[in-house]
Structure formats: structure tokens, C-alpha cells
């Protein structure tokens, strides 16, 4: 209050949500209407936008909590599938061992085969993402690295399980 005159510093307006698309025009109208009357700066907020930003923040927090779980599940799934595929080649490993290939060479051949299969699937997927305009950021590269790590871990476990068993036991496996 200055010399008995009441001065307003804030005025609050509620804008009908139907006019949210025209919020810039509504702001201009209010500024022009109040320009000669009051020396105010006008801050116009949209309640719907404010509510959506709150929901967006909550969604982002949820995604930040779920992301490590999804990455861990991806690692486990990649390892399991890789190990399962490696166990499917047990007969091939047994035949290689029977014809005289060393366990080390057999393991190297099986790991190389698994890695090539992984790349054959991964490269077209990355190419498709690039064509769709995906940005390869740090999180995407980390997910790719975790997937490759899962494939390698699963393949190594599978190779160890296959190589340690006797060749005759591998050939007698029922399908």
C-alpha cells in the first residue's frame, strides 16, 4: 500500500481450457486490455499443461526405476538364449571331438559361430534403427553392450557345459 492507494502486483486469470490452443492470443488480449490501466507483468499458466508436466515427471521417475530392471532382464534373457542355442549344437561338438578336433578348437568354433549369429541379427536391427532416425546415445550403446555381454556369457557357459561332457554322452541325447 502506497499513500493509501492499494497496488496489485499479481492478477490471476482462469482461462477456459477450450481456449488453450489460442493461449498466445488470450495473453495478447489481456496485456493490451491492462496496458493503460495497471503496470503489471502478466504470467499466464495453463493448468492442463501444469498437470501434464507433473504426470510426465512421475512417468520419468518410474522409467528411471524400471530401466535397470529391464536391462538386467535383457542380460539374463540374452544369456539364456545364447546358452540354449549352444546346447542345441551339442551333437556337432561331439562329432567334431570324435573326428579329432581338440576341445579348445571346438570351443573356439562354437563361440565364433554364436558371435556371428548374434551379429547377423544385430546389424540389421541397428541399420533399421538408423533408418528410422534413432539417435545412438549413451543409454542405447549401454543396452547394446549389455546384450552382447549376455550373449558372450551365455555362449561361454554353454560351451563349457558342452565341452565337459563326453562325446558319446552328447551323441546319445534325445531330441
Higher pLDDT: 19 or 83? It is: 83
Q: What is the pLDDT of residue 156?
A: 93
For the cut 80, the answer to whether the pLDDT of residue 160 exceeds it is yes
Sequence spans of domains, the chain: 67-171
The pLDDT tens digits of the residues spanning 6-55 come to: 666 666 667 777 776 777 787 777 777 776 666 666 666 666 666 667 77
Give the mean pLDDT of 138-162: 89
| Under 8 Å between Cβ of 82 and 150 | yes
101/95 Cα distance (integer angstroms): 9
123/144 Cα distance (integer angstroms): 11
| Under 8 Å between Cβ of 106 and 164 | no
Amino acid at each position: 500500500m502506497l499513500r493509501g492507494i492499494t497496488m496489485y502486483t499479481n492478477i490471476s486469470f482462469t482461462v477456459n481450457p477450450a481456449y488453450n490452443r489460442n493461449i498466445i492470443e488470450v495473453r495478447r488480449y489481456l496485456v493490451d486490455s491492462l496496458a493503460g490501466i495497471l503496470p503489471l507483468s502478466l504470467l499466464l499458466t495453463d493448468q492442463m499443461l501444469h498437470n501434464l508436466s507433473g504426470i510426465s515427471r512421475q512417468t520419468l521417475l518410474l522409467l528411471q526405476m524400471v530401466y535397470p530392471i529391464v536391462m538386467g532382464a535383457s542380460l539374463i534373457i540374452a544369456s539364456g538364449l545364447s546358452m540354449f542355442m549352444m546346447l542345441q549344437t551339442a551333437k556337432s561338438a561331439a562329432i567334431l571331438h570324435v573326428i579329432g578336433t581338440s576341445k579348445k578348437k571346438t570351443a573356439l568354433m562354437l563361440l565364433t559361430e554364436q558371435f556371428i549369429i548374434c551379429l547377423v541379427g544385430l546389424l540389421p536391427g541397428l541399420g533399421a534403427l538408423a533408418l528410422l532416425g534413432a539417435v545412438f546415445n549413451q543409454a542405447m550403446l549401454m543396452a547394446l553392450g549389455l546384450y552382447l555381454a549376455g550373449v558372450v556369457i551365455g555362449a561361454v557357459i554353454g560351451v563349457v557345459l558342452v565341452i565337459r561332457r563326453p562325446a558319446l554322452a552328447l551323441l546319445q541325447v534325445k531330441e
